[in-house]
Structure 1
Amino acid sequence: MRYATYLHGGRTQAGVLADGHLHPLQTRSLLEFLNWNDYERAAATRAALTRRGTPLDAVSMLAPIEPPTVRDFVAFEEHVEGVRKSIDNADGVPDQWYRAPTFYFTNPYAVVGTGADIAMPPGSQVLDFELEVAVIIGRAGRDLDPEQARDHIFGYAVFNDWSARDLQSAEMKVGLGPCKGKDSASTLGPWIVTADELDAYRDADGFLQLGMSVEVNGREAGRDLLSNMGWPFEELVAYASRGTEIRPGDVLGSGTCGNGGCLAELWGRRGRQDPPPLRPGDTVTMTVEGIGSITNTIVEGVEPRPIPPARTRPRARPHSTAPGAR
């Protein structure tokens, strides 16, 4: 099945996609739907399919879910190698990358859907796309093993982790981050495809052999296979649950694929910004086999409000001078 959130007649609605039509669920929120039990979800889906649907071309698609958390992994070796060269001018892949999957938390409030305009991040002149697939969690769990984790994956969507490379490069010199380099937008969509729909693409090692591609202004920039990940999604989910809880609606990105999954990888390999960074007016389209396509256009952003540099302070440790202090 495919589940979506859309805008129609001024109303936000969650629905089921069938035969090119969106059939409304008895909720406006797929996050609410994911928190129902399996029986309730199945009954709601059957009921939705009996209702009159709205053609896809008559609605505006939104991000399918407003996720409570977004973790983004870095699971493609080729991407790590290229981007590391671009941002840090370092060769190879760190040994630690092979030992355990790494992720960072990104901004759930910045998640948008296909068709949304993407504003240039304030202060950035070097905007990049990142072609990924995300899993959406459908059941809470903690300290899962990979076999258990499979039952906690509700479905998959295309994911674009927009990146301001100039901001990212500067802020990560502190040894923490990324922060504002990844804070402005992430595209999720066009809908959630349930996990069972993609089982036919699974190889003997548990990886999903899905073709992935990205175009800028109609010209292909990158193409890869999702099965080139270093870990299958079940292992990423299991790692994310270690010592903590994952919950329905949580989004976990695969990280960017290789072979042009982002511009920075190409810059690192070529030693120059070729193709150039994204600019207002550019349109980026990503397509993943078995899931669908997302498209966004870059628009002008706002100028950053100035923040002064840090004030250096003396390291003295005087007694408090607060009233009444001794």
Structure 2
Amino acid sequence: MENSKNLDELQIEYEYHLTKEGEVPFWDHPHTRGYKVIPQTYHPITTLHGVLALKERMQLKEEDVMILKVLGDSICCSEEQLKRYLSSKMTAAQVTKRLRRFRESALVDRWHVRIIGDEDKVTPPSPYTLGIGGYKFLKHYYNNHFFMDPDRWDRYGIKAIQRYVATNEIRCRLAMAGVLRNWQWHAILNKNPHLSRPLGVAEIESPKGKINFIIERTQMSQNYIDYLREKLELWKRVYEKHQFIPIEKFQNHPTVIVFYTSTYSIAQEIQQELMLDTYPFPIWLCVEEDMYSDGLSKSFYRPDKDRLKRIYVDFLE
């Protein structure tokens, strides 16, 4: 028929932002699928009474609680990241052994994450989140802290898993560099809980004093240009009123907005579309692919008119 077209002609190709090596980063791949994996031996503890009984019977020791607390504070991180967070307290084998035991009681959940069409491909270490038992335990003993309710993952989905694992990489590297003094997920700005919140805020110790990093992660699967533009305009109004950006539970240190991208090509597009150097506060871009290849200190860029200028942040070495 005259109006019929070949299916190949009708297909709309997804526009990937490739790394310099021509790859799509795993933790920003738009075509991911994932789900919680139930272990073969499974006796879930789903009540507060149940988890408190574990502690009373000395089946939850100090090191166990430490792992649960670190995982809860991370919201969602990979097993490898969790081992690095805990490297000064226990060996990698000890972490793995405890995680295996925790899964059997639903204190933690492990996720199976794969790229659609590449299910058999070797992937990074599996992500972990708090299970229902671990969540109830931590909310009882640390009730003034935020921990992710396991039920929320059904609504947030695998994109949120990717987002938190990716952001925990920069968080973990800041901690390993010995400069991270405070961290808050979804911090309240300007005392207004309804104002658009950043994904994370880090208080950093630098040779010239403390700095606040307001960190936002981009994802290929989102309309990140409009998403960042909206946040920048709101934060700009706050900054112009106060000459700084007030952050709940943080002192008013000099603040840098950090857009954390998986590839350099995304960072370039953000600068071209948003002209970041025109905003009244400093904005840096942290590129994940450079962080993996060259280290955290060499992964930052500063907007310079129509281009990005790579900077060396030596105190993050």
TM-score, structure 1 as length reference: 0.26
Q: Relative contact order (C-alpha < 8 Å, sep 6+): which is higher?
A: 1
Larger helix share, 1 or 2:
2
TM-score, structure 2 as length reference: 0.26
Larger strand share, 1 or 2:
1
